Structure formats: C-alpha cells, structure tokens
C-alpha cells in the first residue's frame, strides 16, 4: 500500500480557491474511511465541516497535514499542488491544525508547549526561557487568554489545555489555512465566543478556516458555508445564511432529530440518595453542599475553572478533601479512592478521555468491560471472555459504536466513538450514582439524542445522574435541577422550569458572593 504522489491533473483546480481537495481515498484495515472525498475552502471564509462520528472528518484533516498518507486524491493550496509528507512540511506550507485530541506534553509548561521545536535560542544552542515566557505572555495577551505561561500543562483543565492548543496554532506567522477539529468540544459558551472572536481576527482575504464541530448553533454563528460528509463520502455544501440547522442535520444523519426536547420525569418528591455538605479542597472548592435525589438528573453548569470537575473528583476520592461530609442513602461515608467509590455504586466518567478515560492500546471490549471485570465478568479470579465479548457487542449495537469489531484497539476509533466506548463502560457497570463529566464530548447530534434517552431511561429506573456539561443546551435538555458554580462555590440551584441560558449565565458569572468570601479568607490568611 504505497501512497500515490499527487500529480496535478491539469485544469481541474481553481487558483481563486484557498484550498481544494479532490477525489481522496483512504482505508484502514476493515474500514473504508474516505472515498472520493472532496471539498474546497474559499479565501477569507470559515467553512464548517460536519458529519456523524466516524464519518471521516479527522482522517481527512490528518491526510491534509501529512500525518497519514493518502491512497488517491489531490490537494491544491492557492491553485498550486500541495504535497506534504509530515506535519512540519504542512506547517511550512501554511497549514496549521488543532487536533481533536489534545497533543500537549503534559509535564512541560504552557510556554514550552507553545514553542516546542521552535524555542528561542542564543548561540544556536542555549535556550532562552525568559524570552520564551515573555513571547508567550505577549501572545496570550494578544489573544486575550488568562493563562500562566509557566503553568505546567498537566495542572490545567481540559478547557484550558484546549486554549493552549489554540494559542499554539495561532502562534505560527505563516498560517494561511487554520484547521480546527472540534476546538470547542470542551469549551462553554463564553469561551466559544472568545474563540470565535479570535477566528474573526485571524480571517483576512488571504486566509481561511476549516471548522469541524458537532455543535450546530455554533456553526450557525461562525461558518460562512457548511460541508456535510457521511460515511466517508461527500454529500453537499451549502451557504450557511440560507440553510437551517435541521436541514444540515437531516443531510448528516439522514433523518430528523428533535432538538427542542426538554427534561423528562421531573419530580420534586424524590428521596435523597447522596448528600454533600461543606466539601472543600486545598486548591479550589470552598464549602460546596448539595443533594442528589434518587432518579434525578442533576446538571452542573459553570465556566472553565469553576470547580465542577473538582467536585466530581473530590466526591469519588480521586483528590483529597480538606473538609466536608458525604452521606450516601443516609449513611455517612468517607470515600478514599475511585475504587472505593465504585464499590459503593458511584461511577465517574472523566472529561479527559485520552488521559484519564481510555486504555488506548487495548481493545474496545476491554475498555468497556474494565470497570465490571471483577463482578459480572469473572468467577473467582478467572475472567469470562465470552461474557466480556458478548456484552461489548451489545454495547456496540446499543450505542452504535462504529468499529469493525470489538477486538479493535480503541485508539483506532474516531473521537466520538471513543467517547461512546467510555459511556458504555459505565452503562455496563450498573452504578446507582453516575457522575458524567462532559459525557457527550465529541458525539454527533444524532447519537447525542440517543444517549440522552438512555440516560433518561436510567434515571427512570431509579439511578441518579450528575451531569457536568459546558454545553448549555445539553444542561437544559437533561437536567431536573441545575447547580451553577463559580470559583469553587455553588452560586445557585435552579429547578428545570427556571433554568434558561440567561439565568444560568448570570449565576455562572456571579461575583458578589465569591468576592465577599475571597476577601474574608484572604484577611484570615494574613
């Protein structure tokens, strides 16, 4: 399987276009990822690229940036044939990409990551860390990002890491085409607005952006045209202005989706299953108290760094707490580790699927079964492989995970399908309380709705679900109640009927209560 070098077929390319892609094929063992794929990017535009999970979007972008080699097809940049063999060449040609998966070196700092491979040096050898930090500070200030250049990446949240990726991509001077593969999957509305502002500033008559996203409302705001692909095939391209999102979705999934649904089975007379009082951690959380009812979907909303993930991690014993009590079904408990939490029937799905969720080198079946191995799938110490396979197969059907087989290594799945795999893990585990942190990150509109219905069914069966999400439509679609956090505090709790984008955002940016406490603690500290 050698790659066919692009020999430009004369006449079919248009120098007026920024980027043109024609007849691209790509297959992997057992999967035809792309077939006759094409699209074009005009100068000065933002092109939205949509398609279901596993449609081939990321593969296409990896071909463009020289990560994979194509089997057939041609690329033109500004009318000239584009042949790249590796990401560095792509970068030099003017293609910059933000990948769907975070690609930062986690033990290096923000500054070191941004300039990795392009470090400022003196005498051709000695690094100049001071200069590097200064440049980073300038860059971040220019982009309006509140990040510390010296912060180690592993200490940042996924959203912050995403911001670093964005800053890195925008730090290349020569970039003409900026490719963003789901840049906002981990961001909330305010951060998305900030990103869109950056994109608008990046766009000149000579540049363009390819913007991949599953969030329809966002595409409506930022994209000029939208290209739909399905199962590796090109479907259509439409101007955004006179296309409705429902039309796009119908083209994408081949059927209509009800995007206006609201929470189901909301009731106020449910018994309390989990009660948390005065939860605090060394770094962020301060006196967090709330109750979770049986059969409830409890939404957690807030801005980046508000402390939602920290609540989840503290709750399952992944991070130490400095104060606070947890009562589970009326019994006080001290949860020492996620393993302990799991034994109490509390499952936690992390927001960071690559780093904290998946065993990338292992098969889909293992990734689904891991949490349930020592109950359901084993007798004394022996693992029942047949049951593992059978259950994985069931999950694959239930969540329509796109993979040639459950024996496939999970790293070869598309981002959305990887996410479905972790969701399957927790659906199989049969916990009483599920804490889902950004559960639908990277999942397409059709599959999202299916997952919502599954979660509603679980709630109906008496399971309780805490759903942390940066996506307000998701919070509004699912939550029986919404808890809003800011700066490590709970700033308010909204019943479903009072929860709207506005009420949530007001609480999320609510400063009064927080500033008051911050001053007090500061004074106490001195």
Partner 1 sequence: MSSEPTAAAPAAPTVVKGGSWRERVQQLMALAGLLLIFLVFSVASPQIFPGYSNVTTILFSTTVVGLLALAATLVIISSGIDLSVGTAMTLSAVMSATFIVNWHLPVWLGIIATILFGGLIGLINGFNVAILGLPPFIATLAMMLVAQGLALVISNARPIYFDTTEHAGYIWLSTGSIIPGTRFPNAVLVLALAAVVAFVLLNKTLLGRYDISIGSNEEATALSGINTKKWLMIIYAVAGLFVGLAAIMISARLGSAQPATGAGYELQAIAAVVIGGTSLSGGKGTIVGTVIGALIIAVINNGLQILSVRQEWQNVILGLVILVVVYIDQARAKRAATT
Ligand X SMILES: Nc1ncnc2c1ncn2[C@@H]1O[C@H](COP(=O)(O)OP(=O)(O)OP(=O)(O)O)[C@@H](O)[C@H]1O
Query: Which residues would be at the binding site for ligand X (CB under 6 A)?
Result: 28, 31, 33, 51, 53-59, 100, 402-403, 412-417, 442, 444
- What is the four-CA torsion angle of 237, 240, 245, 250, rounded to 10 degrees? -10
Q: Does 389 bind partner 1 (CB under 8 A)?
A: yes
∠ at Cα 109 (106, 115), nearest 5°?
Answer: 105
Q: What is the DSSP letter of 363?
A: B
Q: Report how far apart the first and last C-alpha atoms of the chain are (Å, whole number).
A: 68
Select the residue whose beta carbon is closest to ligand X and give its number. Answer: 416
Looking from the CA of 207 toward its CB, the CA atoms found within 13 Å total 19
- Cα gap 218→180, rounded to integer Å: 13
Among 18, 35, 50, 58, binds Mg ion (CB under 5 A): 58
Among 141, 373, 516, 520, binds partner 1 (CB under 8 A): 373
Nearer residue to ligand X within complex by CB, 56 or 263: 56
363 binds, among partner 1, Mg ion, ligand X, none (CB under 5 to 8 A by kind): partner 1
Are the C-beta atoms of 75 and 275 separated by less than 8 Å? no
Least gap, CB of 322 to ligand X (angstroms):
39
Nearer residue to ligand X within complex by CB, 63 or 472: 63
Q: Does 261 bind partner 1 (CB under 8 A)?
A: no
Nearer residue to partner 1 within complex by CB, 298 or 413: 413
Strand, helix or coil for residue 523 = helix
Q: Does 376 bind partner 1 (CB under 8 A)?
A: no
| Residues in CB range of 441: below 8 A, 6 or more apart | 185, 186, 351, 353, 419
Among 258, 331, 334, 361, binds partner 1 (CB under 8 A): 361
382 binds, among partner 1, Mg ion, ligand X, none (CB under 5 to 8 A by kind): partner 1
Which residue has 């993930």 as its token pair? Answer: 309
Question: Binding segment for Mg ion among 15-23, 100-108, 244-252, 330-338 (CB under 5 A)?
Answer: 100-108
Q: Does 51 bind Mg ion (CB under 5 A)?
A: no
- Cα gap 479→462, rounded to integer Å: 15
Are the C-beta atoms of 468 and 381 separated by less than 8 Å? no
In whole angstroms, what separates CA 39 from the centre of its chain? 25
Least gap, CB of 200 to partner 1 (angstroms):
35
Least gap, CB of 415 to partner 1 (angstroms):
16
Site for Mg ion in 357-416 (CB under 5 A): 414-415
Site for partner 1 in 311-350 (CB under 8 A): 316, 318, 337-343, 347-348, 350
Q: Does 387 bind partner 1 (CB under 8 A)?
A: no
- Cα gap 479→301, rounded to integer Å: 10
Burial 432-456 (b: 16+ CB within 10 A, else e): bbbbbbbbbbbbbbbbbbbbbeebb
55 binds, among partner 1, Mg ion, ligand X, none (CB under 5 to 8 A by kind): ligand X
- Cα gap 453→324, rounded to integer Å: 34
List residues near Mg ion by CB under 5 A: 58, 100, 414-415
Q: Which stretches of the chain bind partner 1, using CB under 8 A?
A: 1, 29-30, 67-69, 316, 318, 337-343, 347-348, 350, 355-363, 366, 370-371, 373-374, 378, 381-383, 385-386, 389, 404-409, 412, 425, 429
């Amino acid at each position: 399987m050698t790659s066919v070098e692009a020999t430009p077929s004369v006449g079919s390319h248009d120098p007026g276009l920024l980027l043109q892609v024609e007849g691209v094929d790509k297959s992997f063992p057992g999967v035809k990822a792309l077939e006759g794929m094409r699209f074009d990017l005009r100068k000065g535009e933002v092109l939205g690229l949509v398609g279901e999970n596993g449609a081939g979007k990321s593969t296409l972008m990896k071909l463009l940036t020289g990560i994979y080699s194509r089997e057939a097809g041609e690329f033109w940049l500004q009318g000239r044939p584009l042949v790249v063999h590796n990401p560095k060449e792509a970068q030099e040609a003017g293609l910059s990409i933000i990948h769907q998966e975070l690609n930062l070196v986690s033990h290096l700092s923000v500054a070191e990551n941004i300039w990795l491979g392009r470090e400022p040096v003196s005498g051709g050898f000695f690094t100049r860390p001071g200069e590097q930090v200064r440049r980073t500070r300038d860059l971040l200030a220019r982009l309006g990002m509140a990040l510390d250049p010296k912060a180690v990446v592993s200490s940042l949240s996924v959203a912050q890491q995403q911001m670093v990726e964005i800053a890195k991509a925008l730090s290349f001077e020569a970039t003409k085409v900026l490719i963003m593969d789901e840049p906002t999957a981990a961001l909330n509305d305010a951060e998305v607005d900030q990103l869109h502002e950056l994109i608008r500033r990046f766009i000149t008559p000579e540049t363009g952006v390819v913007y991949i996203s599953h969030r329809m409302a966002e595409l409506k705001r930022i994209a000029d045209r939208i290209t739909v692909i399905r199962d590796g095939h090109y479907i259509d391209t439409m101007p955004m202005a006179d296309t409705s999102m429902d039309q796009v979705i119908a083209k994408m999934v081949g059927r209509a989706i009800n995007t206006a649904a609201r929470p189901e089975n909301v009731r106020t007379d449910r018994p309390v299953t989990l009660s948390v009082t005065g939860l605090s951690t060394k770094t962020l959380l301060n006196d967090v108290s709330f109750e979770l009812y049986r059969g409830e979907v409890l939404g957690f909303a807030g801005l980046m760094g508000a402390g939602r993930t920290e609540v989840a991690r503290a709750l399952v014993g992944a991070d130490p707490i400095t104060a606070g009590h947890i009562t589970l079904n009326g019994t006080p408990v001290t949860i020492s580790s996620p393993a302990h939490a799991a034994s109490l029937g509390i499952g936690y799905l992390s927001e960071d699927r690559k780093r904290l969720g998946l065993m990338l080198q292992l098969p889909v079946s293992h990734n689904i079964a891991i949490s349930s191995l020592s109950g359901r799938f084993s007798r004394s110490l022996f693992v029942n492989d047949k049951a593992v396979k059978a259950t994985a197969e069931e999950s694959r059907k239930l969540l329509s995970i796109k993979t040639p087989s459950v024996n496939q290594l999970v790293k070869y799945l598309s981002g959305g399908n990887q996410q479905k795999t972790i969701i399957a893990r927790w659906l199989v585990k049969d916990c009483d309380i599920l804490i889902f942190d950004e559960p639908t990150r990277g999942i397409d509109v059709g599959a999202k709705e299916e997952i919502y219905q599954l979660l509603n069914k679980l709630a109906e069966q008496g399971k309780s679900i805490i759903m942390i999400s940066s996506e307000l439509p998701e919070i509004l679609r699912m939550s029986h109640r919404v808890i809003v956090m800011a700066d490590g505090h709970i700033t308010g709790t909204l019943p479903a009927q009072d929860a709207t984008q506005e009420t949530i955002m007001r609480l999320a940016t609510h400063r009064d209560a927080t500033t008051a406490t911050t001053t007090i603690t500061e004074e106490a500290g001195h």
